[in-house]
Every structure is written in C-alpha cells, then in structure tokens.
Amino acid sequence: MAAGPPGPGVLGGMTYVPMTARSRVEGHRTATTLELFFDLCFVVAIAQAGQRLVHALAEGHPGGGVVGYFFVFFGVWWAWMNFTWFASAYDCDDVPYRVTTLVQIAGVLVYAAGVGRAFDTNDWTVAVIGYLIMRVALTAQWLRAAAGESGAARSAALKYAAGLVLCQAGWVALLFAPDAWKRWLFLVLVVAELLVPVVAESGHQTPWHAHHIAERYGLFTIIVLGETIAASTVAVKSAIDEHDALGVLLPIAAGGLLIVFAAWWIYFAVPVHERLTSNREAIPWGYGHLLIFASGAAIGAGIEVAVEHAVGNAHISQVAANAAVTVPAAVFLLMVWLLHSRHFKRGTAQQLVLPLTSVAILACTWAGSYAVLYAGLVAAAAVVAGTALVARSAPAAG
C-alpha cells in the first residue's frame, strides 16, 4: 500500500502515521527538503576527507593518501546510501521519522569530526561512535517498517535491521584490533556491509522509486562537484593572496572549471532512471557510485594540489601534481560511461567518446604546467563531440 501524502500537523508533517511501503510507481515523486538538508550535512565530511587527501598528495604520499581517502569516503558514501534507499521506500514524513533523521544527521556530523583521526593515525574511535549513532536510528527505522509490513516485506526489513546490528558490532570490535590488522579488517567489514542489501532483498525487493533514486544520486553528485568548485576557489584565492601568481594559476582554474562543468554535463546527459527497473540493475549501479562520488570530490583535491605545486608549496614532481587532477577526472568519466551512459549510446562512435576521453585526459598528465588546462579542453571537446553525435543519430522531426 502506498503511503498517503504528508498532511498538515506538528512541524509541517503528520504527528504520527503508520510506516507503510510507498508505491514504486508513485507520480511526481521528488526529493524532499529533509533529504536535501541531510545531503548538505555530508559536505563537512567530504571536505575533511578532501583536505587530508590534498595534504598526503602534496607531501608525496599518494599510496597512503589514496587508501586513507577511500576508507573515510566509504563511510561517507555508505551512510548516505543507507538513508537514501530506505527513504525512497518508506519515507512517511511524520514527526518520529523526522526526529530519527535528525539523530542520523547528528551521527554524520560526529563521523565528520572523526575523519581526521581516522585518516592521519588510523584511529577510528570517533568515526565509529558517529556510525553507532546513525545505526541506532536507522535500525529503529527498519524495525518500524517491519512492524507495518507482513510476509516477505517484513522479513526483508528485519534482515536489514539484523544486518545493521551485526555490522555495527563488527565496527566496534575493530576498535580493539591491533593497528596492523585494522585496514585489512576494514575491508572485510566493507564486504559485509555491501552484502546486507543483497541478502536482505534476496526474497523481496523493497519498493524504492526509480526516478526518486536517480534524482537523489544526481543531487549528491552536484553536491560533490560543488564541493570541488568551493575547495578549488579557496585554494586559488589563497595562492593569489599569498603569492600574487595569477598568471600561473589562471590555466589551472580555467581547466578545473571546464573539467567540473563537463563532468556535470556528461553525468546528466541520459535518463538513467529508465534503466533502474530492479535490484539486478540498481545494486551494481548504486554501488558503482562510490567511485563516481569519490573521484568527483578528488578532482577538487587534485586542483588544490596543482595550485600548491604551482606556487612552490608542494614538494612533488610536475607529473605527480598533474596526476592528482587527471586520474580522478578520468576515473569519473569512465565510471559514468560504465554505469549508465553506455546503455543509451548508439553505435561505435558514441560508445567510444567517453573511454577515449578518459585516456586522453590521462595522457595530459605528461603535458607539463598546462596539463590541467589541456585536460579541461579535452573534457569540453568530449561534450561537444558527444552532443554532435547524438544530434546526428536523432530521428528527423516530421
């Protein structure tokens, strides 16, 4: 049964309504203001992860920096994933739902406060406490959903609740493991987390809404790219104020803007919700966005590294500074093609645009001090070529 639309009441939503599944074909389903507010709270955690990555790359520690960044970003992405898919299926927008979401927001902010320690010293105590706060609230939501369901739907909700509790117990146990084991045990827990939805929905697919999910992922992509713009702007401004190096920084700023604009254009070029018909397509698509979100945010970190190198504050080679931008940009475009763009392309020419663009952007790594500008021009050229090819293949209007 689909939940009815929220009515007037306490704080703008109903005081209490039974939590029942929403319809997968509900019309005009869009992101709520609460969901948008929830997303914005992740900006803090993304910024913290990006700053740590900048420091590691600028100091010449790309291996440890990338690994640490992946670990802390996984926590950001997975917390957002858990909330987003549950809300798509069971958002009833009453007061208990809003209050429970507030608790999850508090957990996100605590997690963000622990990102620095987790990245720098492998101390996950604060981050795990943040996750514990989020998980208590989300488990309560799944139990509430189970109370309003029956049969296979109830079983799926209870499996989710049990999976959350077991995985969270694993994260708490991780705090007491020897430091040398923590990164390997982390990967084990990552696999366990990813298996929870697969196991829980093996006998019943929760009623997430395809258009709503596609919109939610798109909005988070915009937030990630917006954080990249913000971080890059601050870095350029600081460098200009301290070093008066406008001529050196303009090519980096221009190239970075072109890369981010092209990333936005290419991501939203296809109606991806048309493919999200079942878990078979949706789960790999949803999981693959870890690399899209992480690489999108890393572009901003890379631009900061390029700026630091240009003014002499990063003690790394020109190639390493260039790679900090070109590698995440190439990964972003390749993953967007792999996850959804390729399913809407017709013919070999359209299919090759993004893979070849990714290779060309990587090749810009060895293009000297103008590498970021060249990479931006390549990305812009991909947008022009892709648009032209699509226009040519479109049927003529009658």
The pLDDT score that the predictor gives to residue 28 is 87
The model's pTM: 0.93
- Averaged pLDDT, 181-200: 94
The pLDDT score that the predictor gives to residue 1 is 38
Contact between 201 and 156 (Cβ < 8 Å) = yes
The pLDDT score that the predictor gives to residue 304 is 93
Q: How confident is the model at residue 11 (pLDDT cuts 50, 70, 90)?
A: very low
On average, the pLDDT of the chain sits at 91
- Averaged pLDDT, 35-46: 92
pLDDT at 312 over 90: no
Residues 359 and 375: their CA atoms lie apart, in Å, by: 10
Q: Sketch out the chain's domains with CATH numbers.
A: 35-200 (no CATH), 215-393 (1.20.1410)
pLDDT at 2 over 80: no
Q: How many CB atoms lie within 10 A of CB 322?
A: 26
pLDDT digits (tens, 9 = 90+) for 257-285: 999 999 999 999 999 999 999 999 999 99
The pLDDT score that the predictor gives to residue 13 is 57
| Residue closest to 151 by CA, chosen among 193, 105, 204, 188 | 204
Q: Considering only CA atoms, give the Rg of the chain.
A: 22
The pLDDT score that the predictor gives to residue 231 is 86
Contacts for 13 with CB less than 8 Å, ≥ 6 apart: 6, 7, 93, 94, 95, 97, 98
Angstrom distances, CA of residue 316 to CA of 63, 64, 308? 14, 15, 10
Residue 94 DSSP label? B
- Averaged pLDDT, 230-249: 82
The pLDDT score that the predictor gives to residue 95 is 92
The pLDDT score that the predictor gives to residue 324 is 96
- Averaged pLDDT, 330-356: 94
- Which tops the pLDDT comparison, 27 or 289? 289
Lowest-confidence segment of 31-35, 40-44, 286-290 by average pLDDT: 40-44
The pLDDT score that the predictor gives to residue 234 is 85
Share of the chain above pLDDT 90, in %: 81
Residue type at 378?
Answer: V
Joined tokens for residue 175 = 């705090």
Q: Looking at the chain, list the stretches that DSSP marks H as alpha helix, in order from N- to C-terminal side.
A: 33-40, 42-58, 62-90, 95-121, 125-147, 151-174, 179-200, 210-243, 246-267, 279-310, 318-339, 347-363, 371-393
> Residue holding tokens 């350029």?
236
